[in-house]
Amino acid sequence: MAVSNEVIAESFSLLAKLMDIHGENPFKIKSYSSASFSIDKLTEELHAIPREKILTVKGIGPSIGKQIIEILDTGELPQLHEIINKTPPGVIEMLRIKGLGPKKISTVWKEMEIESIGELMYACSENRLMLYKGFGEKTQNNIRDTITFYMRSQGSFLFAEVEGYVHTIHKLLRESFPGHPISVSGAFRRQLETIDQALWITSVPISDLTAYFQSNQFQIEEEKPTELVVSGSENIKLQFQIVPPESFHTRVFETSCSDAFLEKWNQQFTNLVPTDSEEMIFKQASVHFIPAPLREDPEIIEKAMQAPLPPLIKFSDIKGIVHSHSNWSDGLHTIEDMAKACISQGFEYLVISDHSKSAFYANGLSEERIREQHLYIDELNARLAPFHIFKSIECDILNDGRLDYSDQILSTFDLVIASVHSNLKMSEEKAMGRLLTAIQNPHTRILGHPTGRLLLSRAGYPVDHKTLIDACAEHGVVIELNAHPRRLDMDWRWLRYALKKKLMISIDPDAHSINGYHDIHYGVLAAQKGGVTAADNLSSFTLKQMVEFISRKRG
């Protein structure tokens, strides 16, 4: 098939942009982009022009003309192919973000070492962009908004991205169809960390639901006798399963279990019969109630047959903010403002853990600045008592597993959080070596975001979770459950094993602003899935318990 001018123009335009990202010869870049512009304006298709005449078309010239002929003959531009091969796909994808030109993308990739849009989004939330030339707060906010918009069109969502929307839709439905049972179910009800589709179970007749959504400008995606799928302003698909009122609770139950859980349940118990509530389903089976977020691994059924499950941790069980950044490194607010926000939100203490010196991109603290910060915290503590600010650091785990300061400096902190932030591309062997060395360091009290993953954006370095948990348990190191909704790292799927090993976890917001405290909510939801109780969580310690924990040293 003949290659159109549009395709040829786009090839040169992309080539120019990629060369710009790679910092290649500006004259060449200019000639490719103006050729692209000229080709786009041509009224005649290039494939219809005799080959030898192409070289003389206005705005094209002999060298680009030869490349055009190559595209027409082979369907490919080798230079483009070559440069695409040496650019990470996520970096190329950044070109779709409005407001991010090749120069900025080059900074993002080469200097910030960011290779995907999701990572870039996370860097915005850590205020990392503002530290680079050409990126002010306004640019950072623009980029964040555009990425949010872009990601909404991609199909999968963080729980946090759809939470408010799902609640709003639910409330509207309850108000519009008061006589009918309606329940959110599926992945959202199970509090999974990412959501592809929101699901409701209801007895509202499908014709009424369809009419309701049509009149409210939703798009009807699918309509079957007992199922409706619509989408609205947020692009996530909203699915409705319609059941007779008497089957409502059993359907809600069935759709808020993992497949493995439901299969085991159906093997073990007789068929589900209509009931008045989900609780009745458990009563009839002589099993203590299992909340939807825990209906994952079928092992839990056995446990709930023997005894009631212990009460899960809740937001109000969090007594202090552990792991937060101030404007001394890459946070937005002063320590005083962050402390005052803690006080007004009812927290008993704040653990300030700015970045360490190797994290130069985050304005990490030199030894000198640590001394200054500690004096400042002493002064604040005298003023804000009984509230207390603990002196901490989020200390980089260096390439060989050493921490970022001397023992002498490390011993001046109340609490050291050790995290990996650099050279994330490594084998499991390398990653484990690095982590285990850091865990053995007697100054490490908390292992921060243990895999470095960013949900829907970056897998994180490979780790052997069992060995990691065993080592932390052995050395009395707490593993963080980083509550940022894009991290939720450590993964809740490993929490049960961790609790079995008597490991302490800590639900930490990793806050880079006062707003960041709210992320604890997502950490709590993830912790609930792992069966965590308040007693298993360090940030549930009262101030008094925290002081004791710190003075005990570890192990």
Considering only 15-23, 247-255, 413-421, 427-435, which stretch makes contact with Zn ion by CB under 5 A? 413-421
Considering only 45-53, 175-183, 504-512, 532-540, which stretch makes contact with Zn ion by CB under 5 A? 504-512
Considering only 6-14, 48-56, 76-84, 502-510, which stretch makes contact with Zn ion by CB under 5 A? 502-510
- The nearest distance, CB 510 to Zn ion, in angstroms, is 4
d(CA 27, CA 47): 27
d(CA 66, CA 368): 61
Residue among 199, 190, 186, 196 nearest 239 (CA): 199
Quick one: 243 or 398, whose CB is closer to Zn ion? Answer: 398
Considering only 176-184, 243-251, 284-292, 416-424, which stretch makes contact with Zn ion by CB under 5 A? 416-424
- The nearest distance, CB 305 to Zn ion, in angstroms, is 41
Quick one: 250 or 419, whose CB is closer to Zn ion? Answer: 419
d(CA 192, CA 530): 11
113: three-class secondary structure by DSSP: coil
- The nearest distance, CB 511 to Zn ion, in angstroms, is 8
Interaction mask 426-445, Zn ion, x per CB under 5 A: --------------------
Quick one: 33 or 419, whose CB is closer to Zn ion? Answer: 419
How far, in Å, are 162, 201, 251, 359 from residue 183 at the CA level? Answer: 16, 5, 10, 46
- Asked if residue 460 lies in contact with residue 489, where contact means CB atoms within 8 angstroms, the answer is yes
- The nearest distance, CB 387 to Zn ion, in angstroms, is 21
Structure tokens at 255: 């759709």
Residue among 167, 176, 257 nearest 216 (CA): 176
Q: Single out the residue of 20, 278, 317, 394 in contact with Zn ion (rule: CB under 5 A).
A: 394
Quick one: 241 or 353, whose CB is closer to Zn ion? Answer: 353
Residues within window 522-541 making contact with Zn ion, judged by CB under 5 A: none
Read off φ and ψ for residue 206, nearest 5 degrees: -60, -35
Quick one: 419 or 444, whose CB is closer to Zn ion? Answer: 419
Pairing relation of β-strands 415-419 and 388-396? parallel
Considering only 82-90, 91-99, 308-316, 411-419, which stretch makes contact with Zn ion by CB under 5 A? 411-419
d(CA 453, CA 477): 20
Give the binding-site size for Zn ion (rule: CB under 5 A). Answer: 3
- The nearest distance, CB 492 to Zn ion, in angstroms, is 19
Query: Per 3-state DSSP, what percentage of the chain is helix, strand, and coil (rounded to 5)?
Result: 50, 15, 35
Quick one: 126 or 278, whose CB is closer to Zn ion? Answer: 126
Considering only 42-50, 285-293, 370-378, 393-401, which stretch makes contact with Zn ion by CB under 5 A? 393-401
274: three-class secondary structure by DSSP: coil
Quick one: 186 or 509, whose CB is closer to Zn ion? Answer: 509
Could you tell me which residues come within 8 angstroms of residue 443 by beta carbon, excluding any fewer than 6 positions away? 395, 403, 407, 410, 411, 413, 416
Quick one: 424 or 473, whose CB is closer to Zn ion? Answer: 424
- The nearest distance, CB 319 to Zn ion, in angstroms, is 20
439: three-class secondary structure by DSSP: helix
- The nearest distance, CB 516 to Zn ion, in angstroms, is 10
Quick one: 33 or 482, whose CB is closer to Zn ion? Answer: 482
Q: How far is CA 150 from the centre of its chain?
A: 15
241: three-class secondary structure by DSSP: strand
- The nearest distance, CB 361 to Zn ion, in angstroms, is 12
Quick one: 317 or 394, whose CB is closer to Zn ion? Answer: 394
- Residue 392 interacts with Zn ion (CB under 5 A)? no
- The nearest distance, CB 416 to Zn ion, in angstroms, is 13
Quick one: 161 or 394, whose CB is closer to Zn ion? Answer: 394
- The nearest distance, CB 394 to Zn ion, in angstroms, is 5
308 class by beta-carbon count within 10 Å (0-12 exposed, 13-18 middle, 19+ buried): exposed
- Residue 419 interacts with Zn ion (CB under 5 A)? yes
Residues within window 218-277 making contact with Zn ion, judged by CB under 5 A: none
Pairing relation of β-strands 237-242 and 197-202? parallel
Considering only 96-104, 130-138, 188-196, 505-513, which stretch makes contact with Zn ion by CB under 5 A? 505-513
Interaction mask 506-525, Zn ion, x per CB under 5 A: ----x---------------
> What is the 3 state secondary structure string of 140-152?
HHHHHHHHHHHHH
- Residue 480 interacts with Zn ion (CB under 5 A)? no
Strand extents, DSSP E, 346-439: 349-355, 388-396, 415-419
- Asked if residue 448 lies in contact with residue 482, where contact means CB atoms within 8 angstroms, the answer is yes
Quick one: 156 or 399, whose CB is closer to Zn ion? Answer: 399
**Residue ranges binding Zn ion (CB under 5 A):** 394, 419, 510
